[in-house]
Chains A and B, each alone.
Chain A
Amino acid sequence: MIPRLEIHVPEKMDEVLEILDSSKANCRIIGGGTDIVPGFHIESPRFAGFNKLVDINRIEELHEIRENDENIIIGAGATFSQIISDSIIAHKVPLLQKAAHGIGSKQIRNKATIAGNFVNNAPCADSVPALLVYDASLRIQCADSARVIKLEEFLEGPYETNLQPNEIVTQILIPNNSIGLAGDFYKLGRRRAVAVSRITLGLLYKIADNKFDEIRIASGAVTPIGQRFYEIENFAKGNEVSDELLRTIAIKAGKKVLDLTGLRWSTPHKLPVLQKALYNLLVKNCLK
């Protein structure tokens, strides 16, 4: 059941910040509501203990997708449907487009927002591995200040982030130096549609003279939070692209995940499949 709540629907950013500032932990931001409302229904403790909602759907600047000299700037309130159909995203951040496509259903994508996907920091948030390989940063605002933080620093632990109760994520920044890299996104679910991810993988790379000039790998749903594999990336960089190397990368990723999670109930399936899926993704993209 939905608790009795006050709902604010401000039109201006300043009003949002003011409400957040004055209500602090008594207030939650609602974007698409696709997590928060089901959370009410099942009486999840993660969605309890506040009596106010501030709806950010009418803040125009939160829906903007644009670019400047340094970044592609995605408004935190952009819906996944908007991301899928946006031409800047399609051309310059294609992994995010692909990840968005696999999220929920059409109805969910019409409502769910990009920031809403990761501010709860669920391990299976599909946008996370895509954004991690693009080295995304977030712009965060509160009434009297603003800050920029790297996404991976923002994501502190399972269902925990660095966001303060009086703050709001306003923008996702994709640095220009990530653009132009080739890449791919992979998702494994139990069904072909509306499936919670079992495994997600983001891959960006650049090959020159058959060597990895750049390679970035991130995973979702296999570790407590979405994860970049820097050590493996550094190992691969500069190496000759060969079937052997791709196998080694996949095995190293498996070892890293095992280090992070230990043996869990799902390990006997997920861990081998993660390695095979990463290998398949690498072969499909990198091995000509």
Chain B
Amino acid sequence: MLRDISLNINGKIKTIRVEESKRLLDVLREDFALTGTKEGCAIGECGACTVVINSDAVNSCLVLIGQCEGVEIITIEGLEQNGELHELQKQFMEKGAIQCGFCTPGMVMSAYALVQSNPDTTIEEIKEAIEGNLCRCTGYTQIVDAIAH
């Protein structure tokens, strides 16, 4: 069923009319052209679609837009503020934490949720925060390194 949904995406209130059983992932990519959020598995196993909803890292492939009225969503596109990259983004670049880049947005969002709630993290906490983000290129080493800095 079509429904009007208002939600806060990257700090701005947006309202759209949309089929309510559409996945949040598809709404972000198709209706808001926020294509930084990726689809890798559609069953919540790979984490490429991770966004932050009300401070928590969440797989946007498992959320239906009809559940999202009034929520606050941050996507990868929301991290750069006034032309300034978030510290995590800078570290990902500098530490070589990026190869093909497909898992990167989801990975950064999981890391973002972690550092927002706990700025002083251990390596074990970092590995746990990204355990649901599969990466096939990097072997995670430089990613963990980037988040630790």
Contact = CB atoms under 8 A, between A and B. Distances in A.
Contacts of A37: 23, 43-44, 61-64
Interface stretch (A86-94, A105-113, A155-163): A105-113
A262 interface: no
B104 interface: no
Given A4-B1, A194-B132, A108 B44 contact: yes
A220 B3 CA distance: 41
Contacts of B129: 106
Nearest to B21: A5
Contact of B43 (A2, A41, A110): A41
B31 interface: no
A40 to B, nearest CB: 9
Interface residues of A, number: 28
Contact of A33 (B1, B45, B63, B132): B63
Interface string B13-51: 000000111110000000000000000001111010010
A33 B24 CA distance: 12
Given A53-B64, A107-B132, A193-B131, A7 B110 contact: no
Interface string A36-59: 011001100000000001010100
B128 interface: yes
Interface of A: 2-7, 9, 30, 32-34, 37-38, 41-42, 53, 55, 57, 81, 104-108, 110-111, 193-194
12 contacts: A3-B21, A5-B20, A5-B21, A7-B3, A34-B62, A37-B61, A37-B63, A38-B42, A105-B132, A106-B129, A106-B132, A107-B47
